Structure formats: structure tokens, C-alpha cells
Amino acid sequence: MDTITLSGMAFYGYHGVFPEETKLGQRFVLDVALRLPLEQAGRSDDLTLTINYAEAYELIKRIVEGEPYKLIEALAERVAMELMQTYTSIHELTVRVTKPHPPFDAQLHGVAVEIQRKRAGVHP
């Protein structure tokens, strides 16, 4: 299966459990890998046979900068669900949401959740 990857997408959102997170907000970084057949698009050079990644980016941005979620797990799930519903050519995907500055005393580069979803009944 072929892959389109959107990596290092940074957005400002208001997700979190603590009141200061939902009031002040913070940066979130997302990486998304979309797995789908790309051979026809590659051979024909036809945008309609692939996923317009600028449009996918805007969909992801709207979600991350929109409705707040307590958990980054819920945010990742919403992104995955919306992408799968919008782009029926996706066979499976991976969504990674990183919170670079979690609100607790720790020396780390961030906390991340990575989920993988596969369309039911699709076999490569």
C-alpha cells in the first residue's frame, strides 16, 4: 500500500483536562499517514485519483483548532474518523498527536498518542 504523509503540522488548540489548558491553549503537532493505492495517480498525473493534501491539511486544522477535547486520544480519533469519512479511497491511516508541553513537571520532548485505523472489509 502506498502512503501520503503529512508531518509536523503545528496548530494551536484548547485541548486538555486542566482548566488552564482549555483557557490558555497550547501548540499541538500532528503527523498523519494515509495509506491508499496511488499507482493510477502516479501514472496519469491526475489529482482526482489521489488525495489533495492541501484539503486534508485544512480538514485537520479545522478539527484541531475547533472543538476542545479533554484527551488527545479523542482528538486523534476525531481526525481519523473525519479523514476516513471524507476520503473513501483511504484503506488505513495513522494519526499521531503530540502535546509538546504537557502541564506537569517533566523533562521531555512531549507526550504523544498514535492511533491506527483500517477501513472494514478492505484488503490490499
Helix H or strand E encompassing 120: none
What phi-psi label fits residue 45: left (phi over 0), alpha (psi between -120 and 50 degrees) or beta? left
Torsion of CA 13, 17, 19, 24, to 10 degrees: -20
Q: What are the boundaries of each domain within the chain?
A: 2-118
Asked whether the predicted pLDDT for residue 124 surpasses 60, the reply is no
* Residue-wise pLDDT tens digits, 47-86: 999 999 999 999 999 999 999 999 999 999 999 999 999 9
Q: Do the beta carbons of residue 70 and residue 103 sit within 8 Å?
A: no
Distance CA 58, CA 120 (A): 25
pLDDT at residue 16, as a whole number: 93
Q: What is the pTM of this model?
A: 0.93
Catalytic positions are: 99
Domain 2-118 classification at class level: alpha beta
Q: What does the pLDDT read at residue 109?
A: 80
